[in-house]
Structure 1
Amino acid sequence: MEKDIFNPQNYTVLIVDDLIQNIQVLATTLEAKGYSITYALSGKEALQRLKAIQPDLILLDLLMPEMSGLEVCEEIRRNSDYSHIPILFLTASHEEEHLLEAFEKGAADYITKPFRTAELLARVQTHIQLKYQTKKLRESENKLNTIVTYIKDGILIVDHDGVVQFVNPAALQMFDKSFDDLLYHELGIPVVVGKVAELDIIRANGVLGKAEITVGDAEWLDKKVSIVSLRDVSERNQIERKLRIALNKQKVLSQKLKKIANTDPLTGIFNRRHILSILQEEFKRNKLYDQTFSLLLVDIDHFKSVNRSYGNPVGDQVLQEITIFLGNCLRSVDMIGRCGGEEFLAVLPGTTLDGALELGESLCSRIRNLKIETRAGFVQVTVSIGVTVYSSEDSNDEVMLKRVDDALYKAKELGRNRCVFN
């Protein structure tokens, strides 16, 4: 398998901010890693800059005079020449209420001011890699489509029920059927697995002929399927091998793309978008089967003071060590993701309120006594935890998320370093 080597020198980043000081900070950090930098001081200037150069990623200030970042994002997404470029919003913590609208308009992610060097570099690299993995996956799919469309062999992909999920033009001609007559219908012919069988077909010249039929097992769209190859020549093994290689490469690229899209680059756990999608699915499952589950919302107390006292690199170490500690305290069925700068959401299937409270209080106590070894020496922190449990009266997962957020707020109001349920 070829190894992907990420080289920042191959990529250009466009920084859009009305404050030159912010641009200077970002440019200095990114240029030190090797990125090429271009910049604009307004939304209109950014749109003009795109006509001259196509960057690999855009860092876009959320709130700017005259033309806001949201308006710039909307203009870029309308233009098919630029719509593939990932946009990361630059936002202050008090502007986070605008982020939902930003994601709706096509933002890929956001970075909070003041900028954290490690997180900035991680998010920029992640989204550039995500963009190019998406491109490689698309190219792989196009190559696969070209193979099966233009070869003279008939190719069908059939699920375990014998229903045709894909058919190429050569197979349609051999069966003398239309797409509507064959696709999503049962194949209707005997399939001999592991043996070679013969089948009557219609040749290109309209004459009745014989084709050899071979069957191979594969995975397609994460399902077990059979590849049915129809040939009136003797090259079936070569075609099947090429098709299998193409399918395997597409599967590997798809899995790699999925991992990048779902992972927080600094901590290695699920990112906000994915943990919220897990919460949504868990809510639907419990609603359907009348079961229960709980949520923990964990926040590191006074984390900004850790950054001020020791510096952002130490703050990053603390975040990573707390992430590892939380993961070790959870069961294999539990799921955890990073929801914000120092905030983590844990989804606990089958856990009652008593069980979630017991876990939350244990985490508070154990983290309180935890000595985290960093480059600046040992650091100790505490956490505040909000807890809630699923209720059959909850209309959707957002109700639970609001409730656990309120519980965390109460824990902070009561002095932090504690676990509170709501």
Structure 2
Amino acid sequence: MLNEIQKDFQNASILAIDDSHTILTALKHILEKAGYRFVTALTGTQGLDAARLNPPDLILLDVMLPDGNGLDFCRKIKNDPALFQIPVILLSGVMNSPKEQSRGLDAGADGYMSKPFEAREIVARVKSLLRIKQAESALRESEQRYRALFKAMLNGFALHEAVRDDQGNLLDFRYVEVNPAFETQTGLGLNTVVGRTIREVLPQTDPEWMERYCKVVESGSPIRFEGYIQTLDKHFEVLAYRPQTDILAVIFSDVTKRVKSAWGVQVAKLQWEMTFNSMSDLIMLLDRNFTIMQANAAQFKALGLKPGEVLGKTYFSLVHSSDHPTDGCPHLLALADGQEHSVEIFDERLGGHFLVKVTPMLDKHGEFIGSVHVARNINDLKQTEERLKRVSDEYERVFQSTQDAMFLLQVTNGDTFRFIRNNKTHQIATDLSLDDLRGKTPQDMLGDELGAFVTMNYRRCVQAKEPIAYDEVLNLPAGEKTYHTTLTPVLENGEVAYIVGSAQDITERKKAEEQLRFLATTDEITGLWNRGHFMSIVRQELERARRYNQSFSLLMLDIDHFKVINDTHGHAAGDEAPRHLAATIKKHLRQVDVAGRFGGEEFAVILPQTDLDAACLSAERLREHIANSTLSYAGTDISLTVSIGVTDYRQENSSEDELYKRADDALYEAKNKGRNMVVGSFE
């Protein structure tokens, strides 16, 4: 910076305004010799014009000029926005008294010199004022950079001054300054906070926050923490420090999404662990070296060991008491080809026969990193197979008493399948009697299309010559149900002669899963998409619009005087009003349009491939339909109106937050203008 200032001194431009050619010639000689560029003017008017045309770095101004008083011209220079920062030195042969000098300073002059003057004094005065000017310029630039950084900060920033009582005890902190990000992240405007204290702005602030702030101001040590502000219903990461005595600076960022996401992950993990440990199958997760990383409660129980005695051990040493994998180990097969493998084993320690299904775990590059072992106890099925071969009464008792829906198929030539029998559970579950099934093919029972689909799984079992399991949806006389079916082949002379089927009705479980998905995405009162799912659709629409350079518009709707409806007709009517509005919206939207409920009385609509003008027309038609409709509740007709804010996707201003803000601002403009109207964001 000092080098730049020195360089500027050498190139500085000096404007001298004086009606004396002698004075101007002397000044020119002195200043040009000192390395300055020199410009002259004989009158104040000429000097002003020259300064405005090409502003100099310093002005030497004679007090007595042909066209006026130099003090008046000095005032004009200092009142001109383009010239007021230029230093002015008054030249006078009469302004020697303190009173005269004071008049010059009052006119805005930065200094004065008496005629006649010495060359050394002129050069010294000029250098001094130019140095001051450069320092002030550097200070302004620094201030401008600070202000630009202050405005551009992504994090919120607030500067406070301490509020103390007469005894010097800290009571509160008053907002002195906040940046734009403060307003964005808190929703609190600058005019609503500056000059007020934290407790006035956020009356429900956690006392622990205030204790931390007080500690920072008293000790001078910065502190970083995360906390929740109930008034704003948001979580923030906060850095608080003391830049000077009794001043508190706070930098913060909104981490609400991250906190809620982490909470959601914890809930999902807990739900997964509960499901994992409630399953009756024996489940283990192995790394590529056969080390047991995780196992469920059923596995620990079957081994008769505690988790600490299982986890970290190799599978073959723990389960098979061996120092190496057994022949045909499905984990080795999965490691070799990256495919899923199933094997049937007998392990007396575990409790008998098991169907072990090994599914490889691959990283994002497709590399094998481990496997999931699911072992299902098939002792009952094995006993059933043996008793089927003997066609014994014992088989019949097992076959008929099992809670699984079981059936027996005869396999001819490996490709033709005919039902032989089914057990009572199967008959009840499907409403198909033994006479309905016996001797018939799947096509006879289910028709060509569904019969061919079922037969495909039977062929898989024949080709594998080992049990297979899968889920299927069948529409039988008992109705459409979802089953988890296991097919176990019965071999004679090395070929599959029979297939024993075991089906579990998982319809209710599937319905529960669908209901969970529905509740996660749908508003239960209106049937529209809920806020979270609607916002994800907006993000998808933004991505599509950016990729294909297409337009879309966003409508934000708010029921007018919703509180009056609640207060007048009760909260039940308050539920009927959103439901009625949702039905009206769905009735009058295009098939491609998407509607959602943001909560309470607020709704939103996406209009794909629609510009702002068309969107405003659509919004106006929708507003008229709503205003012309009537909600009948408890024998009373209730009229509804809505205010609608409309905005569209714009390449130059296209973030999700900006889209919502423009639509929301337009909505509140419609509210403020009297409600029951449409306002578009045409900025």
Indicate the TM-score class for this superposition, using the shorter chain for normalisation.
0.5 to 0.7
Q: Deviation digits for residues 195-247 of structure 1, max 9, x if unmatched?
A: 25556xxxxxxxxxxx447586769xxxxxxx998978789744x735xx56x
2:646 is matched with 387
Partner Cα distance (1:176, 1:327) in 2? 48
Q: Which residue, 237, 241, 253 being the options, matches 2:503?
A: 241
Tell me, in whole angstroms, the C-alpha distance in 1 between the residues paired with 2:580 and 2:639: 11
Distance 2:606 2:642 in 1: 17
Give 2:529's match in structure 1, choosing from 256, 270, 288.
270
Asked if residue 327 in structure 1 is aligned to residue 586 in structure 2, the reply is yes
Shift of 1:343: 0.7
- Which SS does the other structure have where 1:105 is aligned? helix
Indicate if the aligned counterparts of 1:385 and 1:411 stay in contact, CA closer than 8 A: yes
**Partners of 1:317 and 1:300 in 2: how far apart?**
12
- Could you tell me which amino acid in structure 1 is paired with residue 673 of structure 2? L
Give the C-alpha shift of residue 388 in structure 1.
Answer: 1.4
Contact 1:140 1:249 (C-alpha < 8 Å) held by counterparts: no
CA distance in 2, matches of 1:101, 1:90: 12
Residue 666 of structure 2 is aligned to residue 407 of structure 1: yes
Q: CA RMSD in A?
A: 5.1
Deviation per CA, 1:11-58: give whole Å up to 9, x if none: xxxxxxxxxxxxxxxxxxxxxxxxxxxxxxxxxxxxxxxxxxxxxxxx
Query: How many Å apart are 1:321 and its aligned residue?
Result: 1.3
How far apart are 1:304 and its partner, in Å? 1.9
Q: Give the alignment of 1:13-412 within 5 angstroms.
A: 63=204, 65-66=206-207, 95=232, 104-106=258-260, 146=281, 164=339, 194-195=458-459, 196-198=461-463, 211-212=465-466, 237-238=500-501, 241-242=503-504, 245=505, 251-375=510-634, 377-412=636-671
Separation of aligned partners in 1, 2:359 and 2:561: 69
| Residues 57-83 of structure 1, C-alpha deviations (whole Å, 9 max, x = no match) | xxxxx9464368xxxxxxxxxxxxxxx
Q: Aligned partners of 1:294, 1:147: CA distance in 2, in Å?
A: 53
User: Aligned partners of 1:212, 1:381: CA distance in 2, in Å?
Assistant: 65
Tell me the SS of whatever aligns to 2:207: coil
Give the distance between the partners of 2:624 and 2:208, measured in 1 at CA. 49
Q: Distance in 2 between matches of 1:364 and 1:176?
A: 59
- Paired AA for residue 207 in structure 2: E
- The CA distance in 2 between the partners of 1:359 and 1:408, in whole Å, is 15
Cα distance between partner residues in 2 of 1:358 and 1:305: 28
Query: Which residue of structure 1 lines up, in the alignment, with residue 69 of structure 2?
Result: none
The 1:107–1:90 alpha-carbon spacing in structure 2 relative to 1, beyond 3 Å, is: farther
Partners of 1:133 and 1:253 within 8 A in 2: no
Partner of 2:153: none
**Contact kept in structure 2, 1:364 and 1:417, CA below 8 Å:** yes
SS at match of 2:637: strand
In 2 relative to 1, CA 108–383 (structure 1 residues): closer, same or farther, beyond 3 Å?
A: farther
1:279 shift after superposition: 1.0
In 2, Cα distance between the equivalents of 1:386 and 1:371? 22
C-alpha contact (below 8 Å) 2:462/2:489 kept by paired residues? no
Aligned residue type for 1:397: E
Between the aligned partners of 2:666 and 2:261, the Cα distance in structure 1 is 30
Unmatched tracts of structure 2, length 5 or more: 1-202, 210-227, 237-253, 285-298, 303-327, 332-336, 346-354, 371-455, 474-484
Aligned letter for 1:310? H
Letter aligned with residue 288 of structure 1 = R
3-state SS of paired residue (1:304): helix
Mapped to 2, the partners of 1:348 and 1:385 lie a distance apart of: 14
CA–CA separation in structure 1 for the residues paired with 2:229 and 2:280: 39
Alpha-carbon separation, structure 2, partners of 1:341 and 1:176:
49
The amino acid that maps onto 2:607 is L
Name the one with the larger strand percent: 2
CA gap 1:176/1:276 in 2 versus in 1, 3 angstroms: closer
Q: Which residue identity is paired with 2:281?
A: T
Task: Tell me which amino acid in the other structure corresponds to 1:146.
Answer: D
> What letter corresponds to residue 259 of structure 2 in structure 1?
K
Structure 1 residue 345 displacement after superposition: 0.8
Distance 1:143 1:174 in 2: 18
Q: TM-score, normalised by structure 2?
A: 0.34
Question: Residue 342 of structure 2 contacts residue 358 of structure 2 at CA under 8 Å; is this kept in 1?
Answer: no
Is the radius of gyration larger for structure 1 or structure 2?
2
TM-fit CA distance, 1:404 = 1.1
1:407 touches 1:421 (CA, 8 Å); kept in 2? Answer: yes
The whole-number CA distance in structure 2 between the counterparts of 1:136 and 1:268 is 26
Identity of aligned residues (%): 28
Residues 138/333 of structure 1: CA separation in 2 closer, same or farther (3 Å cut): farther
Matched residue pairs, number? 285
Distance 1:270 1:132 in 2: 23
String of CA shifts for 1:91-121, please: whole Å, max 9, x gaps.
77xx456697555433999xxxxxxxxxxxx
Secondary structure in 2 matching 1:241 = strand
What TM-score does the superposition give when structure 1 sets the normalisation length? 0.52
Q: What displacement does 1:255 show?
A: 1.8
Supply the distance in 2 between the matched residues of 1:304 and 1:337 (Cα, whole angstroms). Answer: 20
Structure 1 spans left out of the alignment, 5+ residues:
1-61, 69-88, 110-126, 157-161, 185-191, 200-210, 220-226
Q: Distance in 2 between matches of 1:317 and 1:174?
A: 54
Task: Work out whether residues 155 and 230 of structure 1, in 8 Å CA contact, stay in contact via their aligned partners in 2.
Answer: no
> Is the contact made by 2:206 and 2:229 (CA closer than 8 Å) also made in structure 1?
no
Mark the CA change 1:358 to 1:241 in structure 2 (over 3 Å): closer, same or farther: same
1:384–1:408 CA contact under 8 A, matched in 2: yes
**How many Å apart are 1:342 and its aligned residue?**
1.0
Distance in 1 separating the partners of 2:357 and 2:525 = 54
Q: Which amino acid aligns with 2:543?
A: K
The one-letter amino acid paired with 1:368 is A
The amino acid of 1:259's aligned partner reads F
Q: Is the 8 A contact 1:385 1:420 kept in 2?
A: yes
Please state whether the residue corresponding to 1:393 is helix, strand or coil.
helix
Deviation at 1:372, TM superposition (A): 1.7
* Residue in structure 2 matched with residue 17 of structure 1 by the alignment: none
Q: Sort the Cα spacing of 1:141 and 1:406 in 2 relative to 1 into closer, same or farther, 3 A.
A: same
Once residues 366 and 177 of structure 1 are traced to their aligned partners in structure 2, the CA distance between those partners, rounded to angstroms, is 56
